[in-house]
């Protein structure tokens, strides 16, 4: 058996956190689109669905609804505040109930970097 190293980008899966994988792209159908990042997807969603509801929560008896533009701006505002305070190292340790708007905004920030 030879002990040659296999390049990290040689397969469709990896167990390494920094590993690379081949993308399955087809010529037609849903697999033909080029891959995009989460921030790109978020911005595209805002441009497509700007005034449609994105997030709704009930405080006491009143519903608070954020449309896609408001949700995006809330995420940007929270991200700027975290950068300004330099507390971004605490993001992975935040534990908020997943049904709160603040959790969803924080989650969006974490996964948009």
Instruction: Classify residue 16: in a domain, yes or no.
Output: no
User: How many domains are contained in the chain?
Assistant: 1
Domain assignment present for 19 = no
Query: CB–CB of 75/105 below 8 Å?
Result: yes
Is residue 34 within 8 A of residue 40, CB to CB? The reply is no
pLDDT of amino acid 2: 46
Contact between residue 22 and residue 36 where contact means Cβ atoms under 8 Å apart: no
Is 91 domain-assigned?
A: yes
Instruction: Find the helix or strand (DSSP H, E) in which 99 lies.
Output: none
User: The domain containing residue 54 runs over which residues?
Assistant: 33-110
In a domain, 67, yes or no: yes
Asked if residue 48 belongs to a domain, the reply is: yes
Considering the domain boundaries, does residue 15 fall inside one?
no
pLDDT 10s digit of each residue in the chain, 113 long?
Answer: 445 454 554 677 888 888 887 777 777 777 777 778 888 888 999 999 999 999 898 888 899 999 999 999 998 888 887 777 665 555 555 555 555 666 666 666 666 65
pLDDT for res 1: 46
> Is residue 3, in this structure, part of any structural domain at all?
no
């Amino acid at each position: 058996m030879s002990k040659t190293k296999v390049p990290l980008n040689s397969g469709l899966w990896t167990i390494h956190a920094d590993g690379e994988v081949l993308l399955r792209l087809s010529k037609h159908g849903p697999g033909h689109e080029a891959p995009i990042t989460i921030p790109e997807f978020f911005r595209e969603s805002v441009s497509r669905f700007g005034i449609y509801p994105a997030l709704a929560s009930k405080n006491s008896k009143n519903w608070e609804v954020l449309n896609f533009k408001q949700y995006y701006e809330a995420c940007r505002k929270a991200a700027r505040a975290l950068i300004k305070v330099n507390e971004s190292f605490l993001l992975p340790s935040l534990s908020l109930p997943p049904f709160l708007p603040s959790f969803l905004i924080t989650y969006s920030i974490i996964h948009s970097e």
